[in-house]
Amino acid sequence: MPGRISDEKREEILRSTSIVDLVGERVQLRAAGREFVGLCPFHGEKTPSFYVNPEKGLYHCHGCGAGGDAIKFLMGVGGLTFPDALESLARRSGIVLEEEDPHAARESAHRRRLLDALFWAAGRYRAAFRAPMGKIALDYMRSRGFTDATLDTFGIGWAPAGWDNLVERARKDGIDLPILEEVGLISPRTKGGEGWYDFFRERVLFPIADEAGRVVGFGGRLLEGKEKKYINSRHTPVYNKSRVLYGLDLARASAAKAGLVIVEGYVDAMALHQAGRPNVVASLGTAFTEHQADLVKRSVREHPVTLLFDSDSAGEKAAERGIENFLARDLAVRVATLPGGLDPDEFVHQQGVAAFDRLVESAEDFLDFKIRVVGERCDLGSLDGQAAAIDAVLATVARLANPIKRRLALQRMGSAFPVPTAELESRLQDLTANRSPFRSRPTASEAPPLVREPERVSASPRFPPPPLPRRADHPGWLVAGEEFVLQALLFAPELAEEVEATYPLDCFADPAPANLARRLLAAGGTGAIGEDLLRRVLEDGAQDQAGAERLRAISRRHTARPSRTEIDYRQEFAKFLENVQKRKNRLRVAVESQTVRRAEAAGDREALNESLKTVSKIVKE
């Protein structure tokens, strides 16, 4: 992605772009005097009201008011960011982008090298897929019902058996092997001497493209054997699965007119595209993140998003996780449930595309879906069960960005639960006022309290509590754990909401990492990740030299780890939280034990019994 581009360079790119040719690739235009006219790609219409002026290099729709230059058109119809749209037009015109910032220029050049290496690898895998060595893979994909045209559209490839096919081909083609390691396609040997070996071996490969159509990673499927069936590219400077939707580059144009359908797997998306439904993407198996929701928002505009998942509990939970981020962006969300344990690929092959269309058209509104699933989980015959169900639905309603929609949702809830709307609204306010996952991220200007003392426990007011450990006494694992939280916020931003909910800033034992976490959370909402996020945070807090060096050291440790080492941030964060809770319980027991001893010395049997009960309760937690 380019850095800061001069206004002169931007104007040069626009002058070199034929807006008629650009728009004509998406819209059927006809001459109308000195302008061209066609059906607007931004809203449904039957009478053309979309005009393109080649002399001014502008477009305008008299129906919906959309208008702008070639950059704005690509951003609108393609869902691209401004830098990506500018870069796309520059490539189209053969113009080399030169950033004003030398550091940004170096980073951009390195990013292009990574993307070029991935593009080269995709070509090699695709060639192997069509060669005799790839016949087993080609036959398998054809047996799944895929045509050659669909396989070509999605760029399906094959990583043949053997440890160094890609490595040796890269040497012949002059491809930098450390670059291939950086994008996760080869790994350093740990046995048998120096060198590298291929990461993908004997697998069908699904190239994963970003919204601009650039290959950023791969998914690999094993045809037979006992290894893991699917493996994906690890996180790299150009690929993070929480920031990509498979097939979005192919689905954008259709999504802008008909909305988006989101499924779980590669072959599901491919099968529906082949069946004539190109407005389908796959989630790559991750819980929906804010960044993926932003991608969807740019693609669908006012049209609905339909989540199409399995009818089991895992599918329902995936749908629930996705709903809330979409609601926060004021998107219309529906959920369609597949019958009989079928996946979308099987469903469309067995029952046809007409049945698929009916399934999508009959999708549940998000609120009906949420009320139904929580009703199935909770005991609605008990007061506790009803209260839990209401709170679960309110947790979702709270994410609605539009206050009018929130009010309407509460009124509809009144039809499902025997509670007046006013009381539901009051309960919603109570929930959102408390410290809960509803709490929005801090802005850069907010300065919440950074340190909270460990909880003081005093069973009896007769005795003052003993002194708590000094801050210098914090164990090494706690210091390392809080640095791990900073690393997670840098390289796994999908955990940001979980960090805020379960280890908020005032839980940090040390104010320095707490302050850095606050800045990472504030800057993370911009969509930056890794080195991009680090640079943004350092620019915003240039005066904090100690904090800057601490973040740089964390980033260096992350990038210097062996490329084969994949970090499960969610699992490691859960372990850290478990250790934090154990430490908190030990501190509480230590405090209460001193209270026990003092109660014994004073002969206060009532206080003694109360303290012993408290200690027993803590130990059992």
Q: What is the pLDDT of residues 427-445, one digit of tens each?
A: 888 887 753 333 333 333 3
* Local structure of 331: helix, strand or coil: coil
Q: In this structure, how many other beta carbons lie within 10 angstroms of the beta carbon of residue 150?
A: 16
Both tokens of 90, joined, read: 């520059």
What's residue 544's pLDDT? 65
Both tokens of 356, joined, read: 């698929």
In angstroms, the CA 456 to CA 394 distance is 33
In angstroms, the CA 203 to CA 265 distance is 16
What's residue 178's pLDDT? 93
CB-count exposure of residue 618 (10 Å: 0-12, 13-18, 19+): middle
Residue ranges for the chain with pLDDT beneath 70: 1-7, 97-105, 191-193, 226, 285-287, 301, 311-315, 434-476, 524-532, 539-544, 558-566, 591, 599, 602-604, 606-608, 615, 617-621
What's residue 272's pLDDT? 95
What's residue 159's pLDDT? 95
Is the CB of residue 489 less than 8 Å from the CB of residue 510?
no
What's residue 440's pLDDT? 37
Residue indicated by tokens 């009478």: 47
Which of 221, 117, 134, 95 has the alpha carbon at shortest distance from 178? 117
Q: What is the pLDDT of residues 515-560, one digit of tens each?
A: 888 888 777 654 456 666 777 777 665 556 777 777 777 777 766 5
Q: In this structure, how many other beta carbons lie within 10 angstroms of the beta carbon of residue 94?
A: 7
Residue indicated by tokens 């080609």: 138
**Distant-in-sequence, close-in-space partners of 136: CB < 8 Å, separation ≥ 6:** 223
In angstroms, the CA 310 to CA 314 distance is 8
What's residue 571's pLDDT? 78
What's residue 449's pLDDT? 34
Region of 101 on the Ramachandran plot (φ > 0 left; ψ -120 to 50 alpha; else beta): beta
